[in-house]
Amino acid sequence: MQPVKIGRYEIKSELGRGGMATVYRGYDPLFEREVAVKVLPSELLHSDPQFKLRFEREAKIIASLEHPSIVPVYDVGEDNGQPYFVMRYMNGGSLSERIKAKILTIDEAVKILAQLAPGMDEAHTKGIIHRDLKPSNILFDGKGVPYISDFGIAKLSQAQSGNVTGSAIIGTPAYMAPEQAQGTGVDGRTDIYAVGIILFEMLTGRQPYEADTPMAVAFKHITDPVPQILLSNPNLPEDVEPIIQTAMAKNKDDRFATAGDLVDSLRAVAAGQKLTAEQLTVRGAVSAGKGALPTVVKGVPSKTVKSDAKIPDAPAKKGFNIWFVVIPVVLLGMLGGGYALFSGINPPVETEAPVATSSSAPATDIPEVTPLATETTSASVIAETATTAPPTETPTQAAPAVPKIGGADKIVLVANNELWLMNVDGSDPKQLTTDGATKNDLQWLPDGQTILFLSGKTVKFYKITTDTVDTLTTFPSAVSLDAFQVSHDGKQVMIAMSNEIFVVPFDFETMKNIRTRGNLFGMEGACILPTGKTNAALAVREARWSADDKLVAWLYNGVDAAGSSIQAEQVSVFNIQDCKPETIDLIDNFPGSRFSPVGFQTRIMPDFDWDGLTQFAFNTSRRNNGWGEFYIYNYENHKATLLHPIDNKCCYRDARWSPDGTYLLFAFQDIGLGAEAVSLLYYVPVGELNTGANFKPIPLPEGFFKNPKEAPQPALRPAQP
Binder of residue 285, out of ligand ATP, Mg ion, none (CB less than 5 to 8 A by kind): none
**Binding segment toward ligand ATP, per CB under 6 A, in 130-138, 301-309, 311-319, 472-480:** 130-138
Q: Out of 132, 447, 482, 607, which one is annotated catalytic?
A: 132
Report if residue 23 touches ligand ATP, rule: CB under 6 A.
yes
Binder of residue 526, out of Mg ion, ligand ATP, none (CB less than 5 to 8 A by kind): none
Residue 644 DSSP SS3: coil
* CA–CA separation, 33 and 429 (whole Å): 72
Report if residue 207 touches ligand ATP, rule: CB under 6 A.
no
Residue 559 β-bridge partners: 567
Chain-centroid distance, C-alpha 544: 24
Binder of residue 90, out of ligand ATP, Mg ion, none (CB less than 5 to 8 A by kind): ligand ATP
Report if residue 149 touches ligand ATP, rule: CB under 6 A.
yes
20: nearest Cα among 328, 300, 314, 309: 314
Task: Please classify residue 717 by burial: count the beta carbons closer than 10 Å to its beta carbon, then call 0-12 exposed, 13-18 middle and 19+ buried.
Answer: buried
* CA–CA separation, 196 and 218 (whole Å): 15
Site string for ligand ATP, 150-169 (x = CB under 6 A): x-------------------
Binder of residue 172, out of ligand ATP, Mg ion, none (CB less than 5 to 8 A by kind): ligand ATP
Report if residue 63 touches ligand ATP, rule: CB under 6 A.
no
- Measured from the CB atom, the residue of 37 and 437 that comes closer to ligand ATP is 37
What is the residue type of 189?
R
- Measured from the CB atom, the residue of 131 and 460 that comes closer to ligand ATP is 131
* CA–CA separation, 543 and 208 (whole Å): 28
Beta strands in 287-377 (DSSP E): 325-328
What is the residue type of 430?
K
The DSSP symbol for 355 reads: H
Helical spans, DSSP H, in 295-449: 314-317, 329-337, 352-358, 371-381
Helix (H) / strand (E) containing 143: none
Smallest distance from ligand ATP to CB 320, Å: 8
> To the nearest 10°, the Cα dihedral for 139, 141, 142, 144?
-70
What is the residue type of 25?
R
Q: Is 132 a catalytic residue?
A: yes
Q: Which of 94, 570, 572, 624 touches ligand ATP (CB under 6 A)? A: 94
Smallest distance from ligand ATP to CB 330, Å: 24
Residue number of the CB closest to ligand ATP reads: 18
Q: Which of 137, 245, 423, 707 touches Mg ion (CB under 5 A)? A: 137
Helix (H) / strand (E) containing 545: strand 539-545
* Phi, psi torsion values for 417, nearest 5 degrees: 70, 5
**Binding segment toward Mg ion, per CB under 5 A, in 68-76, 129-137, 288-296, 326-334:** 129-137
Site string for ligand ATP, 441-480 (x = CB under 6 A): ----------------------------------------
Report if residue 87 touches ligand ATP, rule: CB under 6 A.
yes
Report if residue 90 touches ligand ATP, rule: CB under 6 A.
yes
- How many H-runs (helices) and E-runs (strands) does the chain carry? 19, 33
Smallest distance from ligand ATP to CB 91, Å: 7
Report if residue 22 touches Mg ion, rule: CB under 5 A.
no
Whether residue 654 contacts residue 714, with contact meaning beta carbons closer than 8 Å, is answered with yes
Whether residue 282 contacts residue 249, with contact meaning beta carbons closer than 8 Å, is answered with yes
Q: Which of 75, 150, 264, 588 touches Mg ion (CB under 5 A)? A: 150
**Binding segment toward Mg ion, per CB under 5 A, in 98-106, 111-119, 144-152, 610-618:** 144-152
Report if residue 157 touches Mg ion, rule: CB under 5 A.
no
Binder of residue 441, out of Mg ion, ligand ATP, none (CB less than 5 to 8 A by kind): none
Report if residue 15 touches ligand ATP, rule: CB under 6 A.
yes
* Phi, psi torsion values for 386, nearest 5 degrees: -65, 145
Peptide bond just before 591 cis, omega within 30 deg: yes
**Binding segment toward Mg ion, per CB under 5 A, in 96-104, 135-143, 435-443, 578-586:** 135-143
91: nearest Cα among 15, 178, 189, 204: 15
Peptide bond just before 651 cis, omega within 30 deg: yes
Residues that bind ligand ATP (CB under 6 A): 15-21, 23, 36, 71, 87-90, 94, 132, 136-137, 139, 149-150, 172, 324
Residues that bind Mg ion (CB under 5 A): 18, 137, 150
Residues with active-site annotation: 132
